[in-house]
Structures are given as structure tokens and as C-alpha cells.
A and B are shown apart, each in its own frame.
Chain A
Amino acid sequence: MKVEQRPAGSPSKEALTDKATLLTLYREMLLIRRFEEKTAEMYQAAKIGGFCHLNIGEEATIVGTISTLRPTDYVYSTYREHGHAIAKGIDPKAVMAELFGKETGTSRGRGGSMHLFSQEHRFYGGYAIVGQALPIACGSAYAINYEEKDEVVMSIFGDGATNIGAFHESLNVAKLWHLPIVFVCVNNLYGMGTAVSRASAVTEIWKKACAYDMTGERVDGMDVLAVRRITDQLVAQAREKHEPSLLECLTYRYRGHSMSDPDTYRGKDEIKEWQTRDAILSLGDYMKKQKMLDDQEIQKIDEEVTAQVEEAVKFAEESPEPDPKDLYRDVYADEVAS
């Protein structure tokens, strides 16, 4: 699918030159990449079952956005959320254990791939139903306003969600009630197997913000620094002015919609073309040019995150299964009712 860039263009890489920050972004993106590659491997080895959607290719949209948040800010995500959970600070071990369905997972094995959760990290969920979390995210943002806190909610979803009623209901109240929320649309050009142009009357998703008189931005979702810079502005706008916004990140998933998707609706050339713009490689190249990083250091970072992922797998494999008796736990907070 051909993508029209927004004429205004993305903010430039030069805006961010602090080496420590760039290294963190690089490491985080690579960790998510290696985590997801290992997840695919574990799925193929039947260690992970069910339905599984990978973030591979979209790392810049994850790290570029979530890295702008404070630990006290909130993230609501979708079923393609392993990377979001890790970026929000959840230990990859707990994420992998949840993918394995183990007792030590983020939801004690009840959720699996699509339903990660952590109260402690204010990661308020993967949601398997498209568009489901947007009104809920607005509720959290409403509570922030009511309690006069300076926290921000980030609601992340795909291009497919922007055709659902809940998306429009949510943008409407966000603007109406001045909610401190940033809506992040990860536009990977396909809603499952259907191209955006065949599912959405408006293919430039950022323009949908206009209907609600809301700030709308489009950014190159393969450029982590561009994503980070614009998100930083939108988060500040939400925090300081209580003005919501819609950010569209143009990106691409290298794998199919899910692990069981044969991916027959996209050309191999299209996939290869997007891979030439890989977010991790291009940040690495940029840092090398800036003399912030060399091949040896890149190799070292890769070895470290790979070891971290291996450790997560080991932890998941060695963790116990949930007790069948726990089937009846937590139906109600008030256990008398259960």
C-alpha cells in the first residue's frame, strides 16, 4: 500500500542528541525485537499457545511514545501489546510467563498474550476487542481531572479501531471534558488482512481528529526520535493544558497479523521495502555516524538483551502452572459472592 506522507514532515532527528537517552531507546527497541522473535520461536515450538500478535517492525512507535511518560502515567493498549508492556516497565520475565500461561505471569496465566496487565506499572491492559479500551481510558483520564492530579493517559490502538463507534465516542468526550489523554494510532496499514484504504473512508487517520477540533499529528513511525519528539509535545499538552490529541504513527508489521496469518495479502517487495527503513537499524546507523556507538557496542547490547530474553524464557519454563482450584478465584472482589 502506498502511503502519502504528511506535507509538514516529521520533526528531525537532530532534535535529540543526548547519548544516554538514545542508548536507552536503542536498547529498549532491540529488547522488544529480540523478545518478539523469541516469542515466535516459542510459539512455533508449541511452548506458547492460543492467539499471538507480534510487534516486530513497530518498535519505534512503542518506545518513541511510552518513553515520554512518567511511571505514574497510564497506558492502555491492544492485543498487540507485548512491547508496550515491556516499555512501560514490566519485567520481560513476567510478560513471557504470561505468554506461557504460568502462575508467575502478569495475570497469573489467565490472560495470555492479548491480556497483559499490571497495576503496579500502570499498564492498564491489553484488550482483545478492537476499540474496547478507548472509553475506559477516558474514564481514567476523567478521574485524573476530578482528583486534580497531573498524570496523563496514553491510549494506544491500531488503524482498525478508528472505524469503530467507541473511537468516536471517546475522542468526543476527551475534547468535551478536556481530558489529559493522548490517543496513539499505530497505523501499520492493514486492519488484519484488509488495507486501510479499503476499510477507512479517510486514510490519513490524523485527520479524524479534526471532527473533534482536536490536535491531530502524523509522524514517521519508523523514526523513534521523531515519534518521541512529537509525543513529548502532545504529552505536555495533555498534562499542562488538559488538551487531548490524536497521533498517527505510520509503521509496518513485518510479520502477519497473528502467528496464524499466512500473510497472503501483502507483496514480498512491500515488506522488504519497509524493512529497509527499519527503526532499530536506522537509529544504530545514526548513532554510529554521530560517533556515539560502534559495531562492537551494538554487538554487546544485542548480547545483553538476548540474554535477558533467554532468562525470561527460562523463568517462564520453570514457573509453575496455576492451581486448578484457582479457577474460582477473583470472580468477585467480595469473595462471599463467589
Chain B
Amino acid sequence: MAVKTVIEAIREGMDEEMARDESVFLIGEDVGNRGGVFLASDGLFKKYGELRVIDSPLAESCIVGVAIGAAINGMKPIAEIQFADFIAPAMNQIIEEAARFCYRTAGDFNLPMVIRAPWGGGVHGALYHSQSIEATFGHIPGLKVVVPGTPADAKGLLKAAVRDPDPVLYLEHKRTYRLVKGEVPDGDGVVPIGKADVKRQGKDLSLIAYGLMLTYCLEAAEKLAAEGVSAEVLDLRTIKPIDQAAIIATARKTGKVLVVHEDNRFAGIAAEVMAIIMENAFDALDAPVMRLTGPDVPAMPFNHVLEEAFMPNVDKILAKARELAAY
């Protein structure tokens, strides 16, 4: 067991999967010779060669389309979209084809493929380098969507995604890459897709989050403890298929739930989590389920004051949690 960053865990996960299975290959913009803009694939080009670490043209629809075709033919592609915001040109391939291939062929084909995309704000990336896309894709049956927030989960979910028989959108929060460090188990350490994880036990209220917001919620929980409020922190880890049982369990345990995400509010993941709780644990609630989210504006602005106004942070989580605790 060693302490690693999120980006190191992702690189290690890809390296180990490529070493384990020759049908795994990586394709994306600058993933080869340069090692990826965030250095997620640093060293892999040298180790595995240009046939398995492909510097693609800057053409996202082609990157994903090629990955689909290769997966049909039995390979296991990891397609990197350089920033989640750039995924729009590939949405046609992801939504219209990848998501429904198994269904439209009545199970003749399945697509064991991973699409990795760095997402999220707080890095002054402005309009086209900051977006959250999990709700958009979580809405699409046929896709799986994972959102690791820690190094151990980043590696374990990457491995699960590569080994999964279905298309998995693997979202890595770029602010966590080097900010979040943690112990990563030796060996495979596969983390199952579809399983949330209680990252901190508590009894007074539940904070449900994922990605960067997990780190912020854990910090907030620490501060709440000093104020005498025991907060449980549930890390969703997977958006689709979402872990209903874990959500219901924490709601039943504490009776008070705050869902936190930086994605836009309307029809966001929080709305789905709240609906699950209302349908399954209404009788156990001591307060209305609350949410703290990014605002419904078209994109994250560049200016730091505006960016901070957009992003949920520890102080905003604390304020909302205190409101919930006092209800």
C-alpha cells in the first residue's frame, strides 16, 4: 500500500491493464508521444508502442467511432477525450451507437470500451474546459458512468471499466488529479461499478457527493464534527447504474440528506438521488432532502470571482449542512 495521487493511480491502472491484456489499447489526442495533456498516459507510448497508444487526429467523433469499431471486433479500447467539454462532437457516436449497440443487435454484440474524460471546474478553465457532463450521459440507458474521487477508487474503477463488457464513461475530475492523495492497495484492487462507498460514518445527517465534491464534503464533515454534528459522507462513485440501496440506507440511518454536485441544478444527479429517497425512505426523513449544486447558467465563467460563485465549496457545504442539522 502506497500513497499516490489520482493521476498516478489512473496511469498505473491503464499500465497494468495493458500489460495484462493485449487487446487493451489507448487512443486520444496527444496521449502517445506527449503522454496526455495531464500526463495520464506518460511513459505508455514508449512501453507499448504506437499501435497500442495512438495519437489520434483532433477529431472526437472519429476517436469514439474507431473505438466502437475496434470493440465490435473484440478489442478493448480506452478512448481519451482530452477535456469532457470536447465530447460534444462525439456525442453522436456515444449516444446513438455505443449506448445502444447491445440493444439494437438484441445482444449479438456488446462493446467492452472505456471513454475517459477529465471533467469539472475550479481550475480557471472557463467556458470550454470546466464542464460537468455526468447528468447528460447518466440519462442514457446502455452507458455506465463512473466518477471516482480518490486514488484507490480511480485505479479500481478504471480496472473495472476496462474489464466491463459494456461502454463505460470514466469521468476523472481534473482538480483532483494532483490535489487528492491517498493510499492505493497493491495488486488489482478492482472497485465494482455500481457500488457507492461510505467514506465517513455519521449519525446526524448524510452528505452525498462524488468527484471533487467528495473531498470538500469530507472536509466539511470534519468541521461539522467540531461543532458537534456527526455527518456521514456517501461517495456515489458510480452515476449509472446508481447504488440505490446505499442511498436509501444512509437516508434511513440519518433521516437528513444533503446532495452536493457542481453540475447544473436542473435535472441533475441530485434530483435523481432525491427522487430515490422520496420513493423509498420518505417515512424515515426528519427534514426535506436538500441539494447544493452548480447554478443553471450555460457554462463556468473564467473570472475567479465568478468561478467561485459557481462552484460549491467547503463553506457553502457547511452553511447548507448547518441549515439541515438545525431543521
Contact = CB atoms under 8 A, between A and B. Distances in A.
Nearest to B73: A143
Contacts of A132: 92-93, 96-97
A117 B105 CA distance: 6
A135 interface: yes
Interface residues of B toward A: which range?
35 or more
Interface string A19-40: 0000000000000000000000
A143 B74 contact: yes
Contacts of A147: 73-74
18 contacts: A110-B106, A125-B105, A134-B65, A135-B66, A136-B97, A139-B65, A147-B73, A166-B65, A169-B57, A176-B57, A329-B106, A329-B107, A330-B106, A330-B107, A331-B102, A332-B110, A334-B164, A337-B193
A124 B70 CA distance: 12
A329 B104 CA distance: 10
Contacts of B56: 173
A138 to B, nearest CB: 5
B236 to A, nearest CB: 15
Interface in B1-53: 25, 51
Interface string B270-289: 00000000000000000000
Nearest to B105: A117
B62 A173 contact: yes
Top-7 shortest CB links A-B: A139-B69, A135-B65, A333-B110, A143-B73, A169-B62, A333-B165, A330-B107
Contact of B166 (A136, A137, A337): A337
A173 B58 CA distance: 11
A138 B72 CA distance: 11
B59 interface: yes
Contacts of A117: 104-105, 108-109
Contact of A139 (B70, B107, B109, B164): B70
A91 B45 CA distance: 45
B104 A107 contact: yes
Given A117-B104, A143-B74, A143-B75, A170 B166 contact: no
Given A132-B92, A172-B57, 10 more contacts: A129-B92, A134-B65, A135-B68, A135-B69, A136-B68, A139-B66, A140-B70, A142-B70, A143-B74, A172-B59
B266 interface: no
A141 B75 CA distance: 12
Given A135-B93, A173-B57, A333 B102 contact: yes
B258 to A, nearest CB: 27
B294 interface: no
Contact of A111 (B51, B97, B104): B104
B128 interface: no
A141 B69 CA distance: 8
A152 B67 CA distance: 18
B153 to A, nearest CB: 18
Contacts of B68: 135-136, 139
Contacts of B108: 107, 117-119
Contacts of A142: 66, 69-70
A137 B141 contact: no
A117 B104 CA distance: 8
A330 B96 CA distance: 16
A95 B68 CA distance: 24
Contact of B103 (A139, A146, A331): A331
A229 B116 CA distance: 44
Contacts of A111: 104
A108 interface: yes
Nearest to B90: A135
B104 A136 contact: no
Contacts of A330: 102-103, 105-107
Contacts of B66: 135-136, 138-139, 142, 173
B69 A136 contact: yes
A71 to B, nearest CB: 16
Nearest to B110: A333
Nearest to A126: B104
Interface in B82-110: 89, 92-93, 96-97, 102-110
A332 B102 contact: yes
B80 to A, nearest CB: 15
Contacts of A115: 104
A87 to B, nearest CB: 19
A331 B69 CA distance: 19
Interface string A161-172: 000011001101
A140 B69 contact: yes
A293 interface: no
Most B CB contacts (10 A, CB to CB) among A107, A139, A146 go to A139
Nearest to B59: A169
A334 B69 contact: no
B62 A138 contact: yes
Contacts of B106: 107-108, 110, 329-330
Given A108-B106, A331-B142, A337-B144, A144 B61 contact: no
Contact of B96 (A107, A129, A172): A129
A111 B103 CA distance: 9
